[in-house]
Amino acid sequence: MKINISRQYIYLMLLSLVLFIFVLIFSFSVLIPQGKEYRVKRLELKKVSGELRVYEDYHSETLEKLQDLRSKNRATITAFERAFNPDRFEKQNKKYFSSLKISQIATPKAAEEVFSVYEVNTSSQISSPKNFYNFLEVLKKSDWIIEVTFPIDFKRSGEMIESSFEMRVYANNKESNETVASSDAK
């Protein structure tokens, strides 16, 4: 009994065997080690993605708070950006007093380097304390951030009430902010 196997069939079987061996060697030497590495990197990616999501949530939450604070405090922010003009202040508030005098006292303090602080002394003759309290209400809504320091002295002089007090006007000192920003950049 003779087995009749054609040459083509033998070549095909040998080629199939060589390809099978090549696939086995390739899979054990390249694919399986890369698969393990892939699983490790996939776990790292999930962990980093989770951390990124937490930071993105924190960022969006903080950004929302910042925008809310900016919208609520828009007047204060713009007041810090405006430079104080004593002449304009006198013109705006002269109607509350019979006389209003402003003098700047320049005493820069080390703690207040970022802001220019103006000390304003005022003396005025007013007919009733109501005018003074109206003046204080207007100061709250003014274009500048103004602090009225105590004590406020009221003295009666005939039919008029004389008052004297000090005010501090806080304005953003742009020169010192630029200096701080340029030193931080270095």
Does the pLDDT at position 185 exceed 50? no
- Higher-pLDDT residue of 175 and 83 is 83
- pLDDT confidence of residue 184: 45
pLDDT tens string 126-176 = 666 677 777 778 877 777 777 777 777 777 777 667 777 777 777 665 554
Mean pLDDT on 51-58? 95
Between helix 74-81 and helix 32-72 the angle, nearest 10°, is 80
| Structural domain spans, the chain | 1-72, 79-178
Architecture of domain 79-178: 2-Layer Sandwich (3.30)
Evaluate whether 121 touches 164 at the Cβ level (below 8 Å). Answer: yes
Supply the pTM of this predicted model: 0.48
Pairing label, strands 115-126, 104-105: antiparallel
Q: Which residues contact 90 (CB under 8 A, 6 or more apart)?
A: 100, 102
pLDDT digits (tens, 9 = 90+) for 10-45: 899 999 999 999 999 988 888 788 878 888 899 999
The arithmetic mean of pLDDT across residues 49-68, rounded, is 95
Reading the block at residue 139, the tokens are 């100061």
Query: Worst-scoring range by mean pLDDT, 47-61, 95-109, 111-125?
Result: 111-125
